[in-house]
Each structure stands twice: as C-alpha cells, then as structure tokens.
C-alpha cells in the first residue's frame, strides 16, 4: 500500500472506528484515570478484522508475543508503572498494524508519554494517563504508514 487511495473502503472504515474508540478511551483516561473494559472490548473485533486484512507471517506473531510478554512482566514486577488497560490496548493495536510499525508504536507512545510527564509538574505518586499518548502515536503511525512502506 503506497497511498491512502490504495486502502479499500472497508479498511478505512475499520481504522476510523478504531480511532474514534481510541479518542473515547483517551478522554476517559485524561479525566478519570480509568478506561472502561467495554471500550477495550469494542476495539477487539475491529483490530481482528484489520489483522485479517494483512499478510501474516510467524515473525509478526512472535514479535507480538514477545512484546506483550515483556509488558506483562513489567506489570508483574512494577505494578504501578503501567496499567493493565495500557497493556491490553497495545496488544489490540498491534494486531491492526504491520510488523514494521510495532516498535515504532511503542517508541512513539513512550516518547509522547514522557513529553506529557515533562510538560507540567507532577508528584511521583500521581497517575499518568498513558492512553492519550498511545492514541496519538497510533494516529501518527497511520498517517505515516504510506511512507513507511
């Protein structure tokens, strides 16, 4: 896929719904520091349908398993660093992206999260809403996807 015009309308529709759900989750995380499981479950069919539209190989599955294993271990050893919703959301979004963008999503989300932390003074015990950073990173990757091909 070299341009947006090459995307079928069904794929554009699925990405649009997923972005709308991400915006709702980001708003919930910003205002309540909580993401409803119902919104995450609503993302699941769209991510799965987008995953079916892509070419799969063993490397993508291995990369997703290794990355999610790392995040689950991080959650187990440092439970207050990353919320469970963030891990589930990253797993859902990784299903819908090509393999070459998995590390880019995590790196962009981490960088945007650091920018959010550094943008205003916080105490160490205050939670950090990470879903807005994940959502913005996902949006940026979708915008850059034609040039990443």
Q: Which DSSP letter does residue 33 get?
A: S
pLDDT tens per residue across span 55-67: 777 777 787 778 7
Residues 6+ apart with CB under 8 A from 56: none
The number of residues in the chain equals 149
pLDDT tens per residue across span 82-126: 667 888 898 889 888 887 888 899 899 999 988 888 776 766 667
CA 57, CA 62: separation in Å to the nearest integer? 9
Q: What distances in angstroms separate CA 8 from CA 15, 50, 90, one per listed residue?
A: 11, 11, 24
pLDDT tens per residue across span 16-29: 999 999 999 999 99
């Amino acid at each position: 896929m070299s341009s947006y015009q090459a995307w079928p309308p069904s794929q554009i529709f699925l990405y649009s719904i997923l972005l709308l759900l991400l915006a709702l989750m980001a708003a919930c995380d910003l205002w309540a520091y909580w993401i409803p499981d119902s919104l995450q479950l609503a993302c699941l069919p769209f991510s799965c349908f987008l995953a079916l539209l892509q070419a799969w190989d063993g490397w993508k599955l291995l990369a997703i398993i290794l990355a999610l294993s790392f995040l689950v271990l991080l959650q187990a050893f440092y439970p207050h660093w990353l919320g469970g919703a963030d891990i589930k959301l990253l797993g859902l979004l990784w299903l819908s992206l090509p393999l070459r963008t998995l590390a880019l999503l995590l790196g962009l989300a981490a960088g945007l999260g650091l920018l959010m932390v550094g943008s205003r003074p916080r105490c160490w015990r205050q939670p950090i809403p990470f879903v807005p950073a994940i959502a913005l990173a996902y949006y940026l990757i979708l915008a850059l996807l034609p040039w990443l091909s």
